A and B are shown apart, each in its own frame.
Chain A
Amino acid sequence: MWARYREHQGGVAGLLVVVCLAVLALLAPVLAPQDPLALGDRALSAPSAQHPMGTDQLGRDVLSAVLWGLRVSLVVGIGAALISVVLGILIGAPAGYFRGRLDNMLMRATDAFMVLPTFFLILLVVSVFGASIAKLIALIGITNWPPIARLVRAEFLSLREREFTLAARTMGAGHFMIMFRHLLPNALPVVIPTLSLRTAGAIITEASLSFLGVGDPNVVSLGQMLMHSLQFMRMAWWTATFPGLTIFIIVLALNLIGDGLNDALNPRTRKK
């Protein structure tokens, strides 16, 4: 599989970028030149040796804030994506496996969730109940499972007709065993690429929420930095440029990984 993934240049580049950024984010406490929340005496100073990305309106070091913000983005992105994928499997698998009435019911629910303007819903819930990192992860995760559930269901619908399912059944395996031991591993090739794409989506959602001022107020976040930069763009381009560029690069890299994984894992649907 790695051999096939390696052929996809974009995927390899994306993986490299994400690994580098993840290491930077992990090492933020060590690497950040300053406490990202520490007020400095020089507000809105241009990038210099001392502040490679300049300082913001309160004199805080932008580079330090970007490193810490990256950490938050990745945690929220990965956490939310994992929740979506797990929920998608838990709902899509039985729907495709058992078919019939259960399938009908689960898919109705999925369709209902699919048309909800999820961003508005999160916005509403977060502004009424307040935001924290954990809440954001949970909310973004919970609202984004429907497309994954559909994907898993479609995969299970076809896998359940295959010979190995029949073989497992004749050997006396229970439904649970067949679904998760036998079918799920075979469905993973379509699920794994969505993990990467969902992470990218969740990172954008979190950044959008904090851009609108409803993110977790207690942590540094890239979206929040951009929100503040809106007022100072005229005099300080760096406050708007670096946090945004960081989000763009990580999302781009994750999308590339998703495409690469898709090509490597599902060679049949590969673009000729």
Chain B
Amino acid sequence: MRTLKVYVLKRVLQSIPLILFVMAINFLIIHAAPGDPITYLYGASAEVSAEQMDRLREELGLTRPLHVQYVLYLRQLLRGDLGFSVINRRPVLDLILERIPPTLVLMSSAFVFSVIVGGLWGVISAVKARTQIDYWVTIASLFGYSMPTFWLGLVLIMIFSLQLGWFPTMGMVTLGSTSTGWSGLADVLRHLVLPTITLGMFYLAIYARLIRASMLEVLGQEFITTAWSKGLPARTVHYKHALKNALLPVITIAGLQIGFMFTGAVLTETIFAWPGMGGLTYQAILQRDYALLMGLFLLVSVCVILTNLATDLLYTLVDPRIRYSAS
């Protein structure tokens, strides 16, 4: 048990330099940008007077050496100050925080969809290996991960919204709708279907492939032969014995993928006008709101690092075979 604690602590500490690294990248981009950072971050708007800009320069210590500025920048970040969006006239952190829930809804929905459907495809494919079913599932997953997210979104809108009229084309709730409770939830769910498929398809395909490969490997192992020879029914062997073990390697990949899902979320939210962080990113690009863009990059990076950390820790708990070396 002690080694586990040490391992967890060590792994947590390892994330800190990573976060500092991301902050350094952000800092360097601000400073490598043409012109001085203040003109760059705030100059685009006439809202900020020359006096205010001088004061900001003073505050950020722009006249001091670079490493001192970095420390000042870190101190500012640690206070939870991600900068100020002049264009939106609000602190960057506030802008981002209010956009997190819709993104979480979309990403979790896409994650669950891709894991369940992808897992199912993978299992069927492995159990029926080298049959027609396996062949078609393999082709379907190849299509799934070759399909650019944004184009899939467009195609789904064209077919299911514009042609068939089954689902709305944009937003998270019907405009002007005041329904709450169950009907409100139903409204959100209806809006969620197409974005979920759009964002989840790529991961679905990846999980299907992974689980297929992983299942095939497990199915060849001796304990499976034992299970068969005990006369257990196929269902028990496949799902209770094989799948349980085949899921282990998938956890690591899933953790990494959640990080990359932010990319897909930006594209999906842009297409469906989903009111989350992705939509905010697109808005920041259009408005050339650099302070906001940097805040987003920073926050997303930290989320990714923390998700990876959580995955690693989860993995050690799930798989008792892993030896955590405390050295």
Interface residues of A (CB under 8 A from B): 10, 112, 115-117, 119-121, 123-125, 127-129, 200, 204, 207-208, 211-214, 223, 226, 229-230, 233-234, 237, 240-241, 244-245, 247-248, 251-252, 255-256, 259, 271
Contact = CB atoms under 8 A, between A and B. Distances in A.
Nearest to A10: B142
| 4 A-B pairs with least C-beta separation | A244-B151, A252-B146, A119-B263, A251-B146
Nearest to A111: B18
Task: From B29, B40, B146, B301, name the one whose CB has the most chain A CB atoms within 10 angstroms.
Answer: B146
B142 to A, nearest CB: 6
Contacts of A259: 142
B74 interface: no
A229 B260 contact: no
A204 B264 CA distance: 11
Contacts of B5: none
B223 interface: no
B142 A117 contact: no
A30 B263 CA distance: 37
A115 B308 contact: yes
A117 B266 CA distance: 12
Contacts of A256: 142
Contacts of B293: 123-124, 127-128
Contact of B259 (A117, A204, A233): A117
B161 to A, nearest CB: 9
B84 interface: no
Contacts of B29: 124-125, 128
Contacts of A125: 29
Contacts of B175: none
A132 B220 CA distance: 51
B86 interface: no
Interface string B257-292: 001101100110011000000000110011010100
B229 to A, nearest CB: 22
A116 B22 contact: yes
B208 interface: no
Given A116-B301, A117-B304, 7 more contacts: A119-B266, A120-B300, A204-B148, A212-B285, A213-B285, A241-B155, A252-B146
Contacts of A200: 146
Contacts of A117: 259-260, 262-263, 297, 300-301, 304
Given A127-B293, A208-B148, A251-B146, A112 B158 contact: no
A208 B143 contact: no
Contacts of B115: none
Contacts of A248: 146-148, 151
Interface of B: 17-18, 21-22, 25, 29, 32-34, 40, 142-143, 145-151, 154-155, 157-158, 162, 213, 216, 259-260, 262-263, 266-267, 270-271, 281-282, 285-286, 288, 290, 293-294, 296-297, 300-301, 304-305, 308
Contacts of A123: 266, 281, 285, 293, 297
Q: Chain B at the A interface: mostly helix, strand, loop or mixed?
A: helix
A230 B151 CA distance: 10
Contact of A226 (B40, B143, B154, B297): B154
A129 B288 CA distance: 11
Contacts of B263: 117, 119-120, 208
B87 to A, nearest CB: 14
A208 B151 contact: no
A129 B157 CA distance: 33
Contacts of A244: 148, 150-151, 154-155
Nearest to A243: B151
A237 B158 CA distance: 7
A251 B296 CA distance: 29
A226 B285 contact: no
Contact of B271 (A230, A237, A245, A247): A230
B124 to A, nearest CB: 16
A271 B135 CA distance: 13
A129 B266 contact: no
Contact of B150 (A10, A112, A211, A251): A211
Contact of A112 (B21, B146, B149, B281): B21
A69 B150 CA distance: 17
Contact of A208 (B25, B155, B259, B267): B267
B154 A233 contact: yes
A44 B148 CA distance: 24
A241 B162 CA distance: 14
